[in-house]
Amino acid sequence: MGQLFTEMMPKHIEFIKNQHLFFVGSAPLAEDGHVNLSPKGYDALRILSPTEVAYLDLTGSGNETSGHLVENGRITFMFCAFNGAPLILRLYGKGRVALKGSPEWDQLIGLFDELPGARQIIIAEIYQVQTSCGYGVPLYTYDGDREKLMEWTDKKGDRLEDYQTQKNSKTLDGIETPIGRERRESGV
């Protein structure tokens, strides 16, 4: 059944690399704040070391994880085996955000394929890894990535930054995100 580790073992890394979908969870400090859980697809996650991961975060309708990381740094990743042997793997960590043009962005962006709408890189220092059985997770077949997000982003073109300023500057609970702070400080 479930086990705890202080870092990702080689078998965990191999499992993560074979997943097409993962989930990211975060929450504000406020007791009545919105807990966020986001599915992530595409080939956007990189394992930097047994205790560090990063993913290329694409433009979406909100930016909860980014704001929560600024406020408290807490982040959880979950990977589920939808085929093969059952397994759920969680990574618990402290995260941070690297925006375009920052030294950390410049250092990491070369690890990722170029994806339209990339808005930030989320980096997490992992302090605990948990595995559990996954017996209740159903079997699914991966048919491929959806193209809709890429099409939507391409269609936005030069208006994508305006969209990010409007939709990605604050969380549902009003926490300013790094994108919001950057745009406010630059007068956008």
pLDDT at 2 exceeding the cut of 90? no
Taking only the tens place, the pLDDT of each residue in 17-59 is 999 999 999 999 999 999 999 999 999 999 999 999 999 999 9
Strands (E), 52-132: 52-58, 74-80, 88-99, 118-132
Average pLDDT over residues 139-144: 95
Query: In angstroms, how far is CA 135 from the centroid of its own chain?
Result: 25
Taking only the tens place, the pLDDT of each residue in 99-126 is 999 999 999 999 999 999 999 999 999 9
Domains of the chain by range and CATH? 3-185 (2.30.110.10)
Q: How confident is the model at residue 1 (pLDDT cuts 50, 70, 90)?
A: low
For residues 15 and 84, the answer to whether their CB atoms sit within 8 Å is no
Separation between Cα atoms, residue 8 and residue 15, nearest integer Å: 10
User: Percent of the chain at pLDDT above 70?
Assistant: 99
pLDDT at 142 exceeding the cut of 90? yes
pLDDT of residue 188: 73
Count of CB atoms situated within 10 Å of the CB of 39: 9
Tokens matching residue 142: 């991966």
